Amino acid sequence: MYKLHLILKYLRKRRIAWVSLIAVMLCTMMVLVVISIMGGWLRMFRESFHALGGDVIISSRALSGFAHYQEMSEQITKLPDVKAVVPMIKTFGLIKINNISPDAVQVVGVPIAEVGKINKFPESLHRQYEVPKDEGKTPSPPSFDLVEGKDYAAIAPRFMKNPTRYPGMILGAGMAGVYKDKEGVVHRPAGLLDAYARLEVMGLTGEEASLQGATPTPNYYWIVDDSHTGVWPVDSKTVYVPFDILQKDLGMAERKIVNPDTNETTTRPARTTDLHIKLADGVNPRIAKKAITDIVAQFYPFVREEDSPIQVQTWEESNAMFLDAVEHEKGLVTFLFGLISIVAIFLIFCIFYMIVVEKTRDIGIIKSVGATSTGIASIFLGYGLAIGFVGGLLGLLSGFLIVHNINAIHTWLGKTTGLVIWNPEVYAFDIIPNTMNPTEVFWIVLIAILSSVLGALVPAWRAAQMNPVEALRWE
């Protein structure tokens, strides 16, 4: 009982020990804030990249794509763990919007009626999803259909004799000129849905994918919507067009070829560059990948090779380079801030050592009336435990308040001082991540408590080893 009494007395009366308590609190708070924001970054990147594709992706390393994707899709769909298979085409092109400022873009051919089965692309559309949702209406099924009720004949340029025959195009938010200012207000360009685009792509249908003899295929589109996926590199340089139209413009649709020497007609099968596969809930993509690879190997045996031109990857493997970079950055920053937190251990050591020296005579009195060395050591270890526990809880509370209100704090700083650290003009993520991982919180607070006990270990050992006679002579 005397141990608890002394621990509480020292905790209240020895104000110099409050310095170590504040150090523990600040270090805990600092690590929690940093690891929560960096972890939030990683979580948001993972969610955004996963939302762009399927759980497993079959892709061609060549822009010429691969054939037999319909047969593959049929067999893959029969697997019990597979919910849907959707083809996509990815290529590059040159775009001019309203015949102004040509720009290089990534072009994605999407079977838009099917794409919602494998990812969340429909939820990224502004006109067809966000606007109805904000108005309390049911979002319309995604499509490339022209905007209903718009008089395209009145806004079409002269060369468009029949403007409604041209298909629709969806622009990435960055391509469409959508951005957030420093106040976080979204700005959308006026007349976006009145704009048309001229898109040129170049078919590379040969097995060697050579540009020799290739000619660009231009096509005109009307802008019908914009997409905000949340990944700035995608939103700033990507346009989406109907799958069948892009397939035809690239020369990747099924076609008949006549041999001029023999007049024999052969059929070249349709091609695509990607197959996105959605798995049933709870299925591990790494396990499902093996069965999918076996099916692809029936058509392309070299898919099992390490450097195969056709690859079967999970969504994590497909985005591994970027995700690994963010994860390593999180680990590095956490490690560096963890090193700074070691200062708290040395601070506790120094303060507790001073307390032991100052209380030498008191320690002698306690030992002379029957206290054991173990009992004396437990007083100072318990003192360190109390410092760590209180400091860790205060650090958790202050860290939670900062992380939970980080966006409000950042907005206030921007308005008050003009300091903008997280610039929403970079339209990648609209907000600073503000969630905590309970597992990470538990380990950080536990390490803070153990660190405090570790800092008190040597002073506690010294106090336990004191000779009561010598201690009573201390002046």
Tell me the pLDDT tens digit for each residue of 388-428.
888 889 989 998 898 888 877 777 777 777 666 666 555 45
pLDDT exceeds 80 at position 26: yes
Q: Are strands 168-172 and 216-227 parallel, antiparallel or unpaired?
A: parallel
- Please indicate whether residue 251 or residue 224 has the higher confidence score (pLDDT): 224
**In the predicted model, is pLDDT for residue 455 greater than 60?**
yes
- Tell me: the pLDDT tens digits for 288-340? 999 999 999 999 988 887 778 899 999 888 877 777 777 777 778 777 777 77
Q: Average pLDDT of 139-156? A: 90
- For 453, list phi and psi in degrees, rounded to 5: -65, -40
pLDDT confidence of residue 427: 43
Per residue in 78-121, pLDDT (tens digit) is: 999 999 999 999 999 999 998 887 889 999 999 999 999 998 89
Predicted pLDDT at 159: 86
pLDDT at 76: 94
User: pTM for this structure?
Assistant: 0.76
- Which of 41-45, 101-105, 217-221, 314-318 has the weakest average pLDDT? 41-45
Measured between alpha carbons, how far is 461 from 465 in angstroms, rounded to an integer? 6
5, pLDDT greater than 60: no
Identify the band that residue 176 occupies on the pLDDT scale cut at 50, 70 and 90: confident
Of the given ranges (23-37, 81-95, 194-208, 461-475), which has the lowest mean pLDDT?
A: 461-475
pLDDT band at 358 (very low <50, low <70, confident <90, very high): low
Give the per-residue pLDDT at 196: 93
Is the per-residue pLDDT at 4 higher than 60? Answer: no
- What does the pLDDT average to over 68-86? 93
pLDDT category at 473 given cuts 50, 70, 90 is low
Enter the tokens of residue 411: 């907005």
In this model, does residue 471 exceed pLDDT 60?
no
> Is the pLDDT assigned to residue 128 strictly greater than 80?
yes
In the numeric block, the tokens 């704009």 are attached to 195
Query: What is residue 467's predicted lDDT score, i.e. its pLDDT?
Result: 61
Count of helices and strands (H, E) across the chain: 17, 15
289/291 Cα distance (integer angstroms): 6
Number of CB atoms found within 10 A of residue 470's CB: 10
Quote the crossing angle between the two packed helices 373-404 and 2-13, to the nearest 10°.
50
Per-chain mean pLDDT for the chain: 81
pLDDT at residue 35 tops 50: yes
What does the pLDDT look like over 225-284, one tens digit per residue?
Answer: 999 887 777 888 999 999 999 999 988 888 777 666 677 777 788 899 999 999 998 889
Q: SS in 3 state form for the chain?
A: CHHHHHHHHHHHHCCHHHHHHHHHHHHHHHHHHHHHHHHHHHHHHHHHHHHCCCCEEEEECCCCCEECHHHHHHHHHCCCCEEEEEEEEEEEEEEEECCEEEEEEEEEEECHHHHCCCCCHHHHEHHHHHHHHHCCCCCCCCCCCCCCCCCHHHHCCCCCCCHHHCCEEEEECCCCCCEECCCCCEECCCCHHHCEEEEEEECCCCCCCCCCCCCEEEEEEEEEEEECCCCHHHHCCEEEEEHHHHHHHCCCCCEEEECCCCCCEEEECCEECEEEEEECCCCCHHHHHHHHHHHHHCCCHHHHCCCCCEEEEEHHHHCHHHHHHHHHHHHHHHHHHHHHHHHHHHHHHHHHHHHHHHCHHHHHHHHHCCCCHHHHHHHHHHHHHHHHHHHHHHHHHHHHHHHHCHHHHHHHHHHHHCCCCCCCCCCCCCCCCCCCCHHHHHHHHHHHHHHHHHHCHHHHHHHHCCCHHHHHCCC
Taking residues 36-55, report their average pLDDT. Answer: 80
| Chain centre distance of CA 253 | 35
